[in-house]
Structure 1
Amino acid sequence: MYNLSSITAPQISPVYSSMAAFSPGIEAGGKHGMGSNKKLLVALIAASTAMGAIILFLLCFWVYHRKHINKSKEKRSHSSDVAKGLALVPFPFLGKYNTFKTSYRKGSAATTMDYNVLESATNNFSESEILGMGGFGCVYKAKLEENLCVAVKRLEGRTSDAIKEFETEVELLSNIQHPNIISLLGCSVHAETRLIVYELMQNGSLETQLHGPSRGSALTWNLRMKIALDVARGLEYLHDYCHPPIIHRDLKSSNILLDSNFNAKLSDFGLAVPDGAQNRNNVKLSGTLGYVAPEYLLDGKLTDKSDVYAFGIVLLELLLGRKPVEKLSPSQCQSIVTWAMPQLTDRSRLPNIVDPVIINTMDLKHLYQVAAVAVLCVQPEPSYRPLITDVLHSLIPLVPMELGGTLRLVKLAPPAFIPKPSN
């Protein structure tokens, strides 16, 4: 029934043949040594599996270790003071006074400085050292070792509002760094007095420059546009690059500080709040008359567009040289928006209301563009206002390259000398 001649010998695997050639206990032709061969295979497979598991474990451990180190470095860098990161000026004294870290809220820490050192550096908080005044105290100039000058804000009182503003500002500034945001150097708590130490801004506030004795004479058109661009960059960082986004809530010309090169930096973050975490029940209505957005004033609605409105007011100050609110009489005031809006949209009337200091130093096309941006920013309806990123990109082409923009200034060549014809 079966054709026995068709049955052939079993084929030998090439792998098995190779193993037989190098293993005396394995015969290529048959069954001899099959048991020991299986045991060897099992042992090899088990050893390979164990080795692979060990290698995989070591690889995973190495990756985790590298990530852990990188995260630690980023965290330390992110919360470090002005002596690191984006700082433009070294502050060697920080290491000397950084005796311990004080956490005011979960996840934040600031360099704690000795109260007696700061008291001495301000001549016992002498009136002659006052740089400015705020709602809860004064800002003093302080001279530390090696003639290094800083600014010290002194907050008095134990009211919940004063304490909250101190904690908010220390927490926020100890965790962010940006070239257009004031740098926190340290803080101190002594009895009921709380001190916050910042880098010193040599040219004071924008308010002082515009509305002080100089009446804006030091601010050319190009410098004013640079300041507007700097402020927009600082706000963009708060709105788009902080997590969660931060609403400044008290943007105004007195909280925009200028260094020796008129680089602008946002300051005074005591009223700042995270976007989306606030509502009318847990956030007290705060701000400065003239800068507060109408929807926040009337309905308590607070968004990043509230900061955009305040930015529009600052832009109008830069253009017109006027204060946000001016008194017409002891009982009547007029806002800069009410006064300027009819003229801002009329090109024939706009040049007549521009600050006389800059009227002959600008390109009229640029003036019209900046006025249009300001008009959009101060729209009563928040949805009509642009995002601060859109404002930023509108201003960049209007600022000279050497001041941080993309505008190429064309220098006119002096007229060629033409000799007079001889008689």
Structure 2
Amino acid sequence: MALWNAVSQVATVTQLAGVDAYGLISMIVEAARTVKRNREICQLLARRARMIGDLLQQLERTQLMQHMETRNPVEQLEATLRHAYALIASCRDGSYMYSCCMGVKRADQLREVQNEITFYLQLFPLVSFVDNTRSWEQLLSRACPLCSREATDDLHAVHHVEHEDRLGTEALMANGFENLGTHPPSKSKEEKTKGQVMNMRGLANLIGGAKGAELLHFSFSQILAATDNLSDGNLVGNGGFGCVYKGKLSNGVDIAVKRHDVSSFQGPHEFRTEIESIPNLRHRNIISLLGCCVQAEESILIYEYMPNKCLASIIADETKRELLNWSKRLRIIKGIADGLVYLHGHSQMCIVHRDIKASNILLDHEMNAKITDFGLALMLAPNTSAEVVVMGTYGYADPEYVATGVISEKADVYGFGIVLLEIISGKLFRSHKLEAKGYPGLPLPDYAHKYQAELLLHKLVDPLLHAEEHESSQIMECLKVALLCIHHLAKHRPTMSEVVTMLGRT
């Protein structure tokens, strides 16, 4: 029987010799749905195969498949996909006796072919990266015809630096994370500065399309004048991108100036994402990006100023938090929810923020919430998911997304649920290692689930929140919404539209 199955597998591979990559990927996905053995690794293989298909479509759209250097690895890939299909089919169709004899060996073979497919997942972005560099070079030449060869070499350098960042982040994910995506492989200050300067020069020349044209372009001298020469007295914060200063324009408008620190790896990609996404977003609960400054080594983003800073700073300060009564907290909660509904349904596309946390919620003078920091944002088709490199912040990142790399709008729902718990409990996730009888050192979500099971949700409420009787019932309803949002499986979480409906009853 084993010999017959082995012969059958060889025949299957031979019969598939004329099937192209797209056909093989479809067959792999279909076969993985009905496997009887090695189900988990077969389904993982199918997900990887779908990602390969997406990459191949990108290569075709850029006409790279016409080049022999691209076509050769695709032909090798097709051989790997044929092998993968044969292995998955054997897991689906093999007899019980065969599975007993060959089960362990088949699992090893599946892992080997998975490693081969992973190689192509790394290879094809490299091919696309080379083509993107050519495109940037052509665009830069058109924008600046007198651009020197030295500048073109610098352009190649910046793309190399950015690609290293992405690969470094992938390697980091395999070892766990604290603030995801913020600890890349170390590079010299000279390397970082060189890549940063050239990328921002390129952006300065290329901004002016439909997205960039909506932004005001400030000179560095205007920034210095608005912030008293970027004085320490105007420093209001410091994050992964760089320092944030309060400023005032000549017309009296208060602004927040986010200046990139060349020692930070969060630079060109985040800068570009912000200027491409925020100007197109118009909502009372989304921060307004007023303009940017790209000059010499400087890359600066200018936002509307939020006098009450971020939600995390309010929660961490007992004096300020005590002034935050339930009506104000509820308004903040509903504001965040409304902003996310807008993002998830904006322009018939779904914008996934990917880093919803208390420090990314700013508060204006009336304590209205505004979502900020779109450096990690992704755009998806509605009600779909994608497999991407995991990035975000520990504690707020959806655990299912962290485990699988599959992202959807439900990742933002999870982050919202954690923020909702923080607002009600008056404790930030990072400081919330609770010591209680039977629950030593539990983080906030686990603590909440424990109390839910024991019908003791009222013990989660901030002691400084002196709620009236009718408000207590609203708080309990909001806690139940939060617990739905932080379910460990994305499919069991509500959408943000459903969250807004539930909050509307409070």
TM range (shorter): 0.5 to 0.7
Corresponding residue of 2:293: 188
TM-score norm. by structure 1 comes to 0.65
Corresponding residue of 2:480: 372
SS of match in other structure, 2:332 = helix
Tell me, yes or no, if the aligned pair for 1:102 and 1:111 is still in contact at 8 Å.
no
* Residue-by-residue CA offset, 1:2-51 (whole Å, 9 max, x unaligned): xxxxxxxxxxxxxxxxxxxxxxxxxxxxxxxxxxxxxxxxxxxxxxxxxx
Tell me, yes or no, if the aligned pair for 1:168 and 1:270 is still in contact at 8 Å.
yes
* Residue-by-residue CA offset, 1:190-221 (whole Å, 9 max, x unaligned): 22221111111111111111113535112111
SS of match in other structure, 1:147 = coil
Tell whether 2:452 aligns with 1:344. yes
SS of match in other structure, 1:180 = coil
Q: 2:480 is aligned with what amino acid?
A: A
Identical residues among aligned pairs (%): 36
* Residue-by-residue CA offset, 1:365-416 (whole Å, 9 max, x unaligned): 2122111100100000000000000001111232xxxxxxxxxxxxxxxxxx
* Residue-by-residue CA offset, 1:254-308 (whole Å, 9 max, x unaligned): 111111111111001111110259844xx44211111000011111111100000
With over 3 angstroms needed to count, the CA separation of the structure-2 counterparts of 1:351 and 1:213, relative to structure 1, is: closer
CA distance in 2, matches of 1:220, 1:335: 25
The higher radius of gyration belongs to 1
* Residue-by-residue CA offset, 1:91-146 (whole Å, 9 max, x unaligned): xxxxxxxxxx9754863112211211112211222222122221120111001214
SS of match in other structure, 1:254 = helix
Tell whether 2:259 aligns with 1:154. yes
Tell me, yes or no, if the aligned pair for 1:102 and 1:112 is still in contact at 8 Å.
no
Corresponding residue of 1:302: 407
Structure 1 unaligned blocks of 5 or more: 1-100, 399-423
Tell me, yes or no, if the aligned pair for 1:247 and 1:275 is still in contact at 8 Å.
yes
Q: 1:357 is aligned with what amino acid?
A: L
Q: 2:472 is aligned with what amino acid?
A: L
CA distance in 2, matches of 1:278, 1:233: 22
Q: 1:360 aligns with which of 455, 464, 467?
A: 467
With over 3 angstroms needed to count, the CA separation of the structure-2 counterparts of 1:245 and 1:327, relative to structure 1, is: closer
Tell whether 2:362 aligns with 1:257. yes
SS of match in other structure, 1:271 = coil
With over 3 angstroms needed to count, the CA separation of the structure-2 counterparts of 1:307 and 1:328, relative to structure 1, is: closer
SS of match in other structure, 1:145 = coil
Q: Quote the offset at 1:327 in angstroms.
A: 6.7
Corresponding residue of 1:23: none
With over 3 angstroms needed to count, the CA separation of the structure-2 counterparts of 1:357 and 1:103, relative to structure 1, is: farther
Q: Quote the offset at 1:244 in angstroms.
A: 2.3
Q: Which has the higher helix share?
A: 2
Corresponding residue of 1:108: 211
* Residue-by-residue CA offset, 1:284-335 (whole Å, 9 max, x unaligned): 4211111000011111111100000000000000110111133759xx9742
CA distance in 2, matches of 1:104, 1:159: 23
Q: Quote the offset at 1:160 in angstroms.
A: 6.9
Corresponding residue of 1:385: 493
Q: 2:505 is aligned with what amino acid?
A: P
Tell me, yes or no, if the aligned pair for 2:240 and 2:266 is still in contact at 8 Å.
no
SS of match in other structure, 1:383 = helix
Q: What number of residue pairs does the alignment pair up?
A: 293
With over 3 angstroms needed to count, the CA separation of the structure-2 counterparts of 1:106 and 1:244, relative to structure 1, is: farther
SS of match in other structure, 1:325 = helix
- Range that drifts further, 143-152 or 162-171: 143-152
CA distance in 1, matches of 2:210, 2:251: 33
Structure 2 unaligned blocks of 5 or more: 1-203, 435-439
SS of match in other structure, 1:391 = helix
Corresponding residue of 1:220: 325
